[in-house]
Chain A
Amino acid sequence: MTQSLRQVWQYRGLIGNFANREIKGKYKGSLLGGAWALINPLATLATYSLVFGFILRFPTPTAGNGSLTSFPVYLFTALVVWNFFYAVTTSGMGALVGAGPLLRKIHFPPYAPVFGSALAVLNQTAIEFGLLFVVYLVVLNLSWTILMVPVLLLLLSAFALGLGLLLSIANARFRDVNYIVTVVLGLLFYASPIIYPITLVTDMYAAHPWLQVYEYNPITSFVEAFRDVLWHLRFPGLGRLAYLTVVSLGVLALGWTVFQRKSADVSEEL
């Protein structure tokens, strides 16, 4: 364990450069450049707010400060979390395949482009979280619970990175994985309380007890934890934190082990 950490640390420069390459290449050649990092999530937010907040009118619980009930802000809190998870999980696949020509010519650890692309996502996430904090600051919905955000982000990073490692090495072998993941993550998005409050599901427990499985979805748990500390301004609960810690570290350990075992010959498969 410590040995792998030391190895990763030794290649931090390379990982950083891959991240740099990802970020610099992303909006090159576009007219608005980095502004897309802001426009994209806002456009998604506007669409979902219109459909689910205005037309379908999902109920919005009152926020921790007792007055805030804005559906877009409620939605954005979860959307930021989802975007981060989605980007980290999926970017590794493209990064590893994209590094193929390089891996066939130069020796370097194959996890470097995967980690690099994950690191590059932080750029986007920082922008989105920054925006979110500004909004909460304006509406005065802040509390000490915000200190939990880094902890939760760290856990979510571990979870998404572990999943990303698994998916990218699977995708190197079978390129179908990329397409399957798009479909599955599309389902997962609606199977998590992102565009709707979790009460829509929990209210049905009495009629359909099997629905309690819903809460074991780690994304559900993550979204609820983030909403707890950012929207409701309350501690997410030790049970939930313990569950997230176990799941995240487990997934990361699994992803790392599988990736290290399978990636030694990856240069022949890309």
Chain B
Amino acid sequence: MSVFPTGAAPDVSPSPAVTAIAVRDVTKKFRLHNDKKTNVKELFSARQRISRHDDFWALKGVSLDIPAGRTFGLIGHNGSGKSTLLKLVAGIHRPTSGTITSSGRVSAMLELGAGFHPEMSGRDNIYLNGSILGMTRRQIDAAMEEIIEFSGLGEFIDTPVKVYSSGMYVRLGFAIAVNLDPEILIIDEVIAVGDEAFQRRCFDHLYELRRKGVTIVLVTHSLSLVADLCDEAAWLDGGTLRAVGPAREIVDQYLSTVNEREAAADTASAASSSTPGTSTPPDDDIVGKTARRGSGEVRVTGVRYLDADGGERKFLSTGRACTVRIDYEATSDLSDVTFGLAFVHESGVQAAGPNSGYGPDAFPVPAGRGSVDYSLDTLPLQPGEYLLSVAAVDKGHMYDYVDRAFVLKVRADDVVTEPGLVRMPGTWRHDPAPSAGL
């Protein structure tokens, strides 16, 4: 699924100077809903409303150029104004100030199958939707076979859409939107539809449209999709434009800022908590998924995550150096203690289970407090949440075992395009000359 044919468009910039959509100083104000009077009685009711303050500025002066023939991504967290900008570009709303000019027919996919009439057949709905998108009947007729073929509806095309399954519904919607020869295609988070096979076809089609020089504007929370599919991206933050540029750069900037922000929030919350400097909970507070086991001569008191510089972090980054530090307390001197860790992914799969070794590799542990470090040059775990189990054992004897008691958050510093739990550290090599025989 995530392996996209990225190299498919070597000539995406036939004439980079041409602007498909020009956004100039655009602002958009929404009046918050509770203020709206929808009946005459409210209009005449004498109560003076003080509520001129609940205006919400979704966009606060955005200017950007979307070049023709490019695939353009809009990213930003929820409420950043991406969808509002998309609606303005699609002509659904009017900007409060500023101008948006687009050259070319805009086909917007804000919700698949939004215009379907349940009582009408699939074919009639194709005519209806096509005409909404501004096509003539002849143009729709020309695309009809392609749409039916793409949607895979076949014989069902002449039955009313009300009997369609939800999958058939969105498949038809997508087929109409992409096959009606759009000049500018606007997509809002609607690509994740249908089954695996259909999704694949959707992406193939999007890449084909891209190759044909269709301008595509895309809003999605899937950063890897933006990095793969888009040539350029814009990052919106709180209604203003933070950055525009090559998609990968923007996505990386965005990710690092999100990580910084999260780290800042973590230190802020750590500073306000009662035990500053350490996130280690008191001994008794460690609660695993199952009851704590072991004889107790060595007890794990906490786990800390350190980055390459030895600074304590709330989360670790894929591909970076890091250390997992296990704090313990021993009640007596012990000669051979083996420490073990288990990294269990939130899905329940155990990703790894390293231990410090038995026999001659085991650690001698003096009585008192101490710590053991498990260090990695590059963290192979992919982003996600992992639960850590910690064990201290001496061959068959168990001193302490806490089952999945600690949370490890792994974040990405750049875009993740590989599926799976771990990033394999291998290298690829290819010798183009035939190595043996004829």
Chain A interface (Cβ < 8 Å from any Cβ of B): 11, 13-14, 16-18, 20-21, 24-25, 28-29, 101-108, 173-176, 264-265, 267-269
Contacts and interface: CB of A to CB of B under 8 A. Distances in A.
Contact of A106 (B37, B110, B137): B110
Given A24-B119, A25-B120, A102-B132, 5 more contacts: A14-B131, A14-B132, A17-B128, A105-B115, A173-B38
A106 B133 contact: yes
B360 to A, nearest CB: 69
Contacts of B106: 107
Among A13, A29, A269, chain B packs the most CB atoms within 10 A around the CB of A13
A264 B94 contact: yes
A103 B41 CA distance: 27
Contact of A176 (B41, B128, B136): B41
B93 interface: yes
Contacts of B110: 105-106
A265 B28 CA distance: 12
B192 interface: no
Interface residues of B, number: 32
Nearest to B42: A174
B292 to A, nearest CB: 55
A107 B92 contact: yes
Nearest to B43: A174
A13 B136 contact: yes
Interface string B341-354: 00000000000000
A197 B296 CA distance: 107
B114 A268 contact: no
**Consensus secondary structure, chain A interface:** helix
Contact of A107 (B36, B41, B108, B127): B108
8 contacts: A11-B134, A21-B120, A24-B119, A24-B120, A102-B114, A106-B108, A106-B110, A176-B39
Interface in B120-157: 120, 124, 127-128, 131-137
Contacts of B358: none
B250 interface: no
B119 A25 contact: yes
A200 B131 CA distance: 51
Given A24-B124, A174-B43, A176-B41, A268 B132 contact: no
A103 B38 contact: no
B23 interface: no
Contacts of B134: 11, 14, 108
A257 B131 CA distance: 24
B170 interface: no
B90 interface: yes
Nearest to A108: B132
**Which of A14, A16, A105, A108 has its CB near the most chain B CB atoms (within 10 A)?**
A105
Given A14-B131, A105-B111, A268 B119 contact: no
B120 A268 contact: no
B117 interface: yes
Contacts of B30: 268
A13 B120 contact: no
A13 B131 contact: yes
A16 B36 CA distance: 33
A157 B106 CA distance: 33
B343 to A, nearest CB: 44
B137 A107 contact: no
A269 B94 CA distance: 13
A21 B115 CA distance: 11
Given A13-B136, A174-B43, A106 B114 contact: yes
B91 interface: yes
A29 B120 CA distance: 12
B17 interface: no
A105 B117 contact: no
